[in-house]
Amino acid sequence: MRRLTVQVEHFALANRFVISRGAKTEAIVVVATIAADGGIGRGECVPYARYGETVESVVTQIETIRAAIEAGAGRAQLQKLLPPGAARNALDCALWDLDAKRLAVPAFRSAGLPAPGPVTTAFTLSLGTPEDMARAAAAQAWPVLKLKLAGAGDEARLAAVRAAAPSASLIVDANEAWSPRDLAGNLAACARYGVALVEQPLPAGADAALAEIDHLVPICADESLHDRRDLAGLRGRYDAVNVKLDKAGGLTEALALLDAAEQLGFTIMIGCMVATSLAMAPALLLAARATYVDLDGPLLLAHDRPDGLLYEGATLYPPSASLWG
């Protein structure tokens, strides 16, 4: 018989983190722990208000299927028991970890993936004034920088960051803050400053204009993508997709989503919410298949978990078995 434990944990951020929708000073995560046969598996998720999730709603979702999980429901059953989202992600990753511990078989091997190696991750610059973002860019000296943008004033932010980090590869993330009216001008500005990728410029569900405009810079779907069912509607509008386990509902769906996205010709980005290394570790298994890796969540925290991932500058190393998988 399995035993499921659900905990809500708080991690202070190193600095206030701002995007177009608001600001936060802590990461609030939900951790599912499943114990069975001497093994313990953990999975972490981030409830996200943008998708109608709260800590309470995610915990409630998990509790509604406690009996099924403790009775032995596996990952395939979980796909049917819960919709895509944070709750399913925590449980799915906990089941992957539990199997790795019980069977002494690494999760990457069970998933049919190569052993993960070191990868280069982007570092995210919080939304701010051009001067503040330029100072942050200069202080990081990161090979790949991701800029949070907000619409008004974005060209000035781009110019300042590019001057401060002339050799960095730049990704910009508008988090749905642009409008069809300013889309062409903003994309032209991105092209002028050598931006490599633009994430979710228009609101999900109101992005038809992306099919009618030249993509001077490749455009990546984030809020417009959750699981495989969304992919067909993204063709012609987006060039890339940002796969996040909290959106997809776990590693199981993310693997299938990657396969389907690659078959349709989308460039792949692996992303994250602001969370600890426990949430990054499963996503790291997918990084070898991604053109862009954005798994810097723990770097935004004041303190990560004691057994967290190793970051050496922009280089991110695979997790230890004590952390996950």
Q: Please classify residue 71 by burial: count the beta carbons closer than 10 Å to its beta carbon, then call 0-12 exposed, 13-18 middle and 19+ buried.
A: exposed
- Yes or no: say if 264 and 240 are a contact pair by the CB < 8 Å rule: no
Output the six-digit token pair for 247: 């959106």
Residues 6 or more apart from 238 whose CB is under 8 A from it?
A: 210, 219, 220, 221, 224, 266
Q: How far apart are CA 167 and CA 131, in angstroms?
A: 18
Whether 282 contacts 309, CB under 8 Å: no
101, 146, 148, 247: which is the annotated catalytic residue? 148
**Residue 267: Cβ-neighbour burial (10 angstroms; 0-12, 13-18, 19+):** middle
User: Three-state secondary structure along 141-187?
Assistant: CCCEEEEECCCCCHHHHHHHHHHHCCCCEEEEECCCCCCHHHHHHHH
Residue 24 bears catalytic tag: no
Q: Collapsing DSSP states into helix, strand and coil, what is residue 97?
A: helix
Q: What Å distances lie between residue 102 and 31, 39, 307, CA to CA? A: 19, 5, 20
SS3 of residue 265 by DSSP: coil
Please, are residues 15 and 136 in contact by the beta-carbon 8 Å criterion?
A: no
Element (H, E) at 257: helix 251-263
Residue 148 annotated among the catalytic residues of the structure:
yes
- Pick the catalytic residue: 101, 146, 244, 247? 244
Q: How far apart are CA 67 and CA 71, in angstroms?
A: 6
Provide the annotated active-site residues.
148, 244
